[in-house]
Amino acid sequence: MKVLHVSPYTKDDFYSAGVDADEVMDSHINRIGKMLHQKGVETTILYFSRLAKRSRTLTHSDGYEVIVAKSVRVPWHVHFSFDIFEWLMASGCDLVDFRGIFSPMYPFVASYLSSRNMPFVAGDPGGGYAEYLKRKQFIPLRPWFRRTIPLASILFSGSYAEKEYLATLGIPKERILVQRMPVEDYFVPTGEKEEEFTVLYTGRLIPTKSVDTLIRALKGVEGKLWIVGSGPEEQKLRALSKELGVNAEFLGYMDRRELPKLYTAASLTVLPSFTESFGYTIAESLACGTPAIGSRVGMVPEMIIDGKNGYLFESGNAEELRLRIVQARDNLDRLTENAQLASEEYSWDSVISVVLKGYRMVLGENFD
């Protein structure tokens, strides 16, 4: 079986003349290509770069083929390539897997493939179908997306709630598979716990993350707060911590491979956002054996089993969050014991098994 995996996401900053495919690929797409190749699927990944002077074919060290197609920037997304139809026709693939359903290329590609009866599946790595379609930049395109999203033979959804939303667009539920965003293998318990009660936040310091709600919730709570990340809200948050007497340590930006030690050392991870599509912080924390508290947004309620591996609260409600933090502190042993309850769904093996299930559903007896 030959699959063409189309992804509008690329690490443009690493692309220059003469680099090899390993440098072009980001870790997520690289892992998909590698694992599909290991499962015996002949995989070609079609990637896009605004810095490429011409389209070219490369071979990744993990054995699969990479096509880097020249693209241009458009106002509401990073990439649009006029070469994509040429590559689709030349690929000779049995199936197209388009990941980046809210790319401006998707409606064109979906209409093109459908008109030629070429089988394809589709999804978006971060999910968030309902959220994307509400964004103002999508308003002119919304009818076109609503018409073309159902054209895919199989749709990959990031959550069960999202699956229900897609069903409202007229897509039969049996054609919607829940495929979680995978957590990298290095997110495992690493090192020792801090003796002092420690709350961890990792992410950008911007208004929608509502870090000020977390700081307000910790007023009068014994322990310390680690804040990992940077952003325009940093000085304001530093001032608020000082004003409320919250022992907050601002650790700045950290490489992702350093995070497992912090997740493991912390007593509790909190994600107080007003909006999230996935909520990586929660999945990473749970994989490291640390319970989490999150707001009831996006996919967070499907990762936190309320009262078992953490707690949920209404975003922006500092008083409720304070109660949840105190509740977690008083039940840490039990919550920590259950922290990894939901993490198996977010493993790479689980993700690839869902992808292969989708391929089998489309190709049937032609799947080999």
What does the buried/exposed string (b/e) look like for 4-22 if buried means 16 or more CB atoms within 10 Å of the residue's CB? Answer: bbbbbbbebeebeeeeebe
Cβ burial of 167 (10 Å; 0-12, 13-18, 19+) is middle
- Please give the pLDDT value at position 299: 85
- Please give the pLDDT value at position 10: 55
Average pLDDT of the chain is 85
Q: How far is CA 254 from CA 99, 227, 259, 260, 266, in A?
A: 28, 11, 7, 11, 15
- Please give the pLDDT value at position 78: 53
Is the separation of the CB atoms in 302 and 280 below 8 Å? no
Lowest mean pLDDT among 24-33, 85-94, 248-257, 332-341: 24-33
- Give the strand pairing for 72-74 and 248-252: unpaired
Answer whether residue 209 shows pLDDT above 80. yes
Domains of the chain (ranges, CATH numbers)? 2-182+347-366 (3.40.50.2000), 198-343 (3.40.50.2000)
Average pLDDT of the segment spanning 211-217: 98
Q: Please indicate whether residue 51 or residue 172 has the higher confidence score (pLDDT).
A: 172
- Please give the pLDDT value at position 62: 75
Average pLDDT of the segment spanning 278-286: 89
CB count, 10 Å around CB of 296? 12
Average pLDDT of the segment spanning 311-340: 95
**What number of CA atoms fall less than 13 Å from residue 289's CA on the CB side?**
13
- Please give the pLDDT value at position 269: 98
Answer whether residue 365 shows pLDDT above 70. no
Average pLDDT of the segment spanning 313-327: 98
Answer whether residue 19 shows pLDDT above 60. no
Residues β-bridged to residue 58? 66
Confidence band (pLDDT; 50, 70, 90) for 160? Answer: confident
Average pLDDT of the segment spanning 68-74: 69
- Please give the pLDDT value at position 26: 53
Answer whether residue 22 shows pLDDT above 50. no
Answer whether residue 63 shows pLDDT above 80. no
Q: Please indicate whether residue 139 or residue 85 has the higher confidence score (pLDDT).
A: 85
Is the separation of the CB atoms in 149 and 167 below 8 Å? no
136 is written with which tokens?
Answer: 């103002």
Report the interhelical angle of 27-38 vs 348-363 (nearest 10°): 60
Kindly report, residue by residue over 225-281, the tens digit of the pLDDT: 999 999 999 999 999 999 999 999 999 999 889 999 999 999 999 999 998 877 889
Is the separation of the CB atoms in 292 and 269 below 8 Å? yes
Backbone angles phi, psi at 77, to 5 degrees: -160, 170
Kindly report, residue by residue over 103-134, the tens digit of the pLDDT: 778 888 899 999 999 999 998 766 666 666 66
Instruction: Kindly write down the DSSP assignment for every residue of 192-260, as one continuous string.
Output: ---SS-EEEEES--SGGG-HHHHHHHTTT-SSEEEEE---TTHHHHHHHHHHHT--EEEEE---GGGHH
